Structure 1
């Protein structure tokens, strides 16, 4: 588990976690999570929301608000970053 802070205007690169699931609990702030094979789904999240991302599902979090978004993240991958697969071909599908 780790604590993640996404600053206002911040976003991750489009990626997936090969063979590992992710659970995210939003502590404060607001953010959007895009997910799906073409990042075709979008969920707005806020304090108290729990997000589940199955293994191998492309996703991209984005904070388009004016305050930091803070969340606790837990993965079934003990090494956290070893299962990350970047998906640069999906980057342009999510508005900046």
Structure 2
């Protein structure tokens, strides 16, 4: 027997984003699951699009984890102090970014957009992003 309680009256919510949201990272996000769209309390999920040859602004998330699933394209994510570390993700790859880790994704394809699903253990779609200047740790 499970000791997890369930509220059978809680609604199941379907969300289809109809417009993009601008973010402080300067990438288009399509909000899927969040407090505002589905009433979630501890989870959010988005689709992010990195334009051809584009990139986000360097940043970190102070108090929540980020998981990314690469759908299309090839992204180089520079991370860590001074953004000196690097990892490349392609379709089918998952990427985990712990709280407080500076990072900056770059689309390596100058002709095609890259798309990924982003999930966070924070339910508010209003980004709590902290800008990061890699020159401070160069």
Tell me, which stretches of 5 or more residues in structure 1 are unaligned? none
In structure 2, what is the equivalent of residue 29 of structure 1? Answer: 73
The alignment's C-alpha RMSD in Å is: 1.6
Structure 1 counterpart SS, 2:117: strand
Which one of the candidate residues 93, 102, 108 is aligned to 1:64?
108
Matched, 1:74 2:116: no
Q: Compare relative contact order (CA 8 Å, sep 6+) and give the higher one, 1 or 2.
A: 1
Q: CA deviation at 1:45?
A: 1.1
Structure 2 counterpart SS, 1:44: strand
TM-score (norm: length of structure 2) = 0.62
Q: How many residues align?
A: 91
Alignment of 1:33-48 (within 5 A): 33-48=77-92
1 CA distance for matches of 2:125 and 2:62? Answer: 11
Specify whether residues 82 and 71 from structure 1 end up closer, same or farther in structure 2 by C-alpha distance, changes over 3 A only.
closer
Q: Is the 8 A contact 1:38 1:90 kept in 2?
A: yes
TM-score (norm: length of structure 1) = 0.87
Specify whether residues 23 and 8 from structure 1 end up closer, same or farther in structure 2 by C-alpha distance, changes over 3 A only.
same
2 CA distance for matches of 1:80 and 1:57? Answer: 20
Q: CA deviation at 1:86?
A: 0.5
Q: Is the 8 A contact 1:25 1:71 kept in 2?
A: yes
2 CA distance for matches of 1:80 and 1:17? Answer: 13
